[in-house]
Amino acid sequence: HTSTQNKIRKRASKKESNSLNDQRTTTITENVQNKPEVNTKATCAEIFTNANNLFNEFINELDNLCANWKELPIEQLLNIFPDIGSVETDMKILKEFLQADVLPYLHIIFKFWKNRKYLHDVSFGFNDLHERFHISSNTDLKKIFFDLIEINNKTISSECYDKYQRYIITIENVYSTNILNLCAELNVSKELIHFLDNLTTTDADNLLEAVNDWDETLISTKSVIDFVKLKTFFTHAYTSIEEIHSYKTELLFQDVAQCFDIIFKDDDFKNVIGLFETCSQSVAGIKHLYLELTNKEQSKRRCIMDIMSHSLLHFIKNPSSERLFDVQIKSKNLTFDDLSELRDRARLIGYSNTHNKNQDHYLEIQKLESFVELVGVIEGILKNLSSLYTAGFPTVTDIIYNQDVTCNEGNYDNLRQLYKTLEEKLELWEQQLCVMY
């Protein structure tokens, strides 16, 4: 110990001046001379003896572990092998001190403990699938997963081995890694899964349409594409499972697993498990994008409903545009191009709500369908006006001059009448042209 102190002092003294070095060397020499001699041989022997005793105690612990592992709680095994990450390496080093017939059991127990977080996720994810698809409870699977969740460091090692070994034989060796990983992700990625569940196929399509115009600093195009791919993956799976439900009253876990496994073989979904993590990381940005789109969607819905409730339409000649005639909705400052876009949106909304049996949704769909018809009538009027004008009909502009057409509470009979009038005029004019020429 004194020698070590002297060496440290000598290393430190090199930074001082020569005079200080001389003084420090003198001090060190005096200290060494004044201190009693230490019997280093005895100290080394004692250290060796202590080390040997400790080693023997450790070997005794290993012997006790091998002899009584079945009765020991897991925490006692972990006291001997505290670093679960390197336990395999440690056991390999100590192999000659461990009973060969016990090693397989210890490997299984430590494997469980090392992977217990993943196994818990698989178990909770299985419960999610079980409830989601109303899987039959007439199996031992639920009990096997429950037993895994119940294991803790106080659990007796043999009990841990039995329960985990049963899981390996019944589940791990039977179902694909993709299925087990899917179960785990259902628990790990709860926020993502909840958001996907509430998203319609139309919503997903809208996200894809909008992402090209979106700020890449907020959400990347790839993130949205991956997100929609994950939604499509679940849509395919649900469709397949519903098909089985249609002819099979009692759905088993293997039925659900088989549906997912078939989809996993599709080239588009071979690596879909990896999308859970990346999509979970970007779910906040995707939610923001979805909210923006939803706000725009609601704005378009309100605009459609307002037009159907009360609107004043005015037809005008528009020579500067490719369209000879156009329509204006004065209160909304809308033209036919705007109405055409709203019509597309109305069709999408109606399609996505086809299976919704709610009475309010049913009434909304009726209004949306009526709006689609309204825009169709307007389109027909513009077409007839253009045809009359191109054919040289002399008073086309007089027909629409100062003529406003209304739509009140979904009633636009006067608009239909205008369409009918123009149809008749066009037919008569074409007949007159044939007679004249």
pLDDT tens per residue, range 240-272 = 999 998 888 889 999 999 999 999 999 999 999
My answer on whether 150 and 226 are in the same domain is no
**49 and 90 co-located in one domain:** yes
Residues 94 and 207 in one domain: no
- Residue with tokens 């081995």, as numbered in its chain: 161
221 and 167 co-located in one domain:
no
Residue 120, domain member (yes or no): yes
Say whether both 269 and 342 belong to one domain. no
User: pLDDT higher for 389 or 7?
Assistant: 389
In tens, the pLDDT along 30-89 reads: 444 454 454 545 588 788 888 888 888 888 888 888 999 999 999 999 998 999 999 899
Residue 288: inside a domain: no
Same-domain check for residues 122 and 169:
yes
Residue 290 lies in a domain: no
Same domain flag for 163 and 75: yes
Whether residue 15 lies inside any domain: the answer is no
3-state SS of the chain is CHHHHHHHHHHHHCCCCHHHHHHHHHHHHHHHHHCCCCCHHHHHHHHHHHHHHHHHHHHHHHHHHHHHCCCCEHHHHHHHCCCHHHHHHHHHHCHHHCCCCCHHHHHHHHHHHHHHHHHHHHHHHHHHHHHHCCCCCCCCHHHHHHHHHHCCCCCEHHHHHHHHHHHHHHHHCCCCHHHHHHHHHHHHCHHHHHHHHCCCHHHHHHHHHHHCCCCCCCCCHHHHHHHHHHHHHHHHHHHHHHHHHHHCCCCCHHHHHHHHHHHHCCHHHCCCHHHHHHHHHCHHHHHHHHHHHHHHHHHHHHHHHHHHHEEEEEEEECCCCCCCEEEEECCCCECHHHHHHHHHHHHHHHHHCCCCCCHHHHHHHHHHHHHHHHHHHHHHHHHHHHHHHHCCCCCHHHHHCCCEEEEECCECHHHHHHHHHHHHHHHHHHHHHHHHC
Q: Do the domain assignments include residue 26?
A: no
Q: Say yes or no to pLDDT of 12 above 50.
A: no
Quick check: is 330 in a domain? yes
Tell me whether residue 404 is in a domain: yes
In the predicted model, what is the mean pLDDT of residues 387-395?
Answer: 88
pTM over 0.85: no
Backbone angles phi, psi at 303, to 5 degrees: -60, -45
Range of the structural domain that residue 251 is part of: 190-281
**What pLDDT does 170 receive?**
95
- Does a structural domain hold residue 78? yes
pLDDT digits over 169-224, tens only? Answer: 999 999 999 999 999 999 999 999 999 998 888 788 778 777 666 655 567 888 88
CA pair distance 54, 106, nearest whole angstrom: 23
Count the domains in the chain. 3
Taking 50 as the threshold, does the pLDDT of residue 21 lie above it?
no
Q: Is there a single domain that holds both residue 120 and residue 245?
A: no
17 exposure class (CB count in 10 Å sphere: 0-12, 13-18, 19+) = exposed
